[in-house]
Amino acid sequence: MEYRRLGRSGLQLSALSLGSWLTFGKQISDDVAEELMVTAYENGVNFFDNAEIYARGKSEIVMGNILKKQDWRRDSYVVSSKVFWGGDKPNQTGLSRKHVFEACHAALKRFQLDYLDLFFCHRPDPNTPMEETVWVMNDLIRQGKILYWGTSEWSSQQIMEAFHIARREHLIPPTMEQPQYNLLHRDRFEVEYERIFSEMGYGSTIWSPLASGILSGKYNTGFPEGTRLGMQGLEWLRDKMHTDENLHIARELTVLAQDLGTTLPQLSIAWCLKNKNVSTVILGASRKDHLIDNFKALDVVPLLTEEVIQQIENTVKNKPTPAGF
């Protein structure tokens, strides 16, 4: 396993990590969740990603029970939670001081932990002053409840606003962003975030490297049952991702991957890892064999020469135009 610093922080994360969205507490049994976490840990993964909204909190309960049962040294792994969607009542959503404070303590209780390594603002909150959110995150760090705080799917302008408020008030600024990034979704990460990476030293924990399964190749010849895009409540995601254009790209990339002696998922994950601004790629998995197979993406990264990268670009035809052009 390769380890990368989370931006300019001193924290090292495994280049590949394990997420729990749509799986823990929902799509898979608790036994399978444990098998996946143990497999990941034994293969060098040290970061496990979660959020208060995942399975309405059950995902964190499942993960917390596994961590307690395995009794791994606390300094051997990193765990995260995210705050925004906590419930249906007025102060159970958003990034107010009250909800952020309550969400942190609720996550600690579900995880059965004394502190969270990473705590993300799951979305920006236009109804809460930025100063309020920056202050409460700073307070939680000072209290020893969290070690680093960050953002998820924030605009670069919002991130820079939070950063500048922290500097002005002598508070601890955010350290990392959790954005979507894959071969089909690139603009924000590669163009909009360029300054926060180069000037602010931001880290990134990217999600959906396989574009909600499109880049797994499972949809190349049909729509198999039991897949993520077929889950009830995710019709919006299916309509967005399961398009003729995306399927055509996936089929073309499958041929390229085969020519390299690898698979489409491994190629897609390796392509993400090739970007120096990626601190870790969060993998989602419902089966042990798929997870182990995706770990092999680390061996594919050296195969991505300039010539191969150009072949990929010729296939996806979506390379963003750098800012200023």
Report all structural domains of the chain as residue ranges with CATH numbers, in order of start: 3-216+273-299 (3.20.20.100)
pLDDT value of residue 324: 60
pLDDT value of residue 238: 77
- Give the residue from 10, 1, 43 showing the smallest Cα distance to 175: 10
80 near 117, Cβ under 8 Å? yes
- Alpha-carbon distance 77 to 65, whole Å? 15
> Catalytic annotation on 54?
yes
Max CA distance (Å), the chain: 56
pLDDT value of residue 233: 79
Alpha helices in the chain (DSSP H): 30-42, 58-70, 97-111, 130-142, 156-168, 187, 194-198, 235-241, 244-259, 264-273, 288-295, 297-300, 306-316
Distances from the Cα of 51 to the Cα of 12, 48, 57, angstroms: 21, 11, 7
pLDDT value of residue 220: 83
pLDDT value of residue 154: 98
pLDDT value of residue 113: 98
- Burial level of 322, CB count in 10 A (0-12/13-18/19+)? exposed
163 near 175, Cβ under 8 Å? no
pLDDT value of residue 231: 73
Other Cβ atoms less than 10 A from the Cβ of 111: the count is 21
Other Cβ atoms less than 10 A from the Cβ of 230: the count is 14
174, two tokens: 């955010």
Which one from 54, 77, 193, 202 is the annotated catalytic residue?
54
Chunked mean pLDDT (size 10), the chain, 325 residues: 98 98 93 98 98 97 98 98 96 98 98 98 98 98 98 98 98 98 97 96 97 89 76 77 88 97 98 98 96 98 98 96 70
Distances from the Cα of 59 to the Cα of 20, 55, 62, angstroms: 7, 6, 5
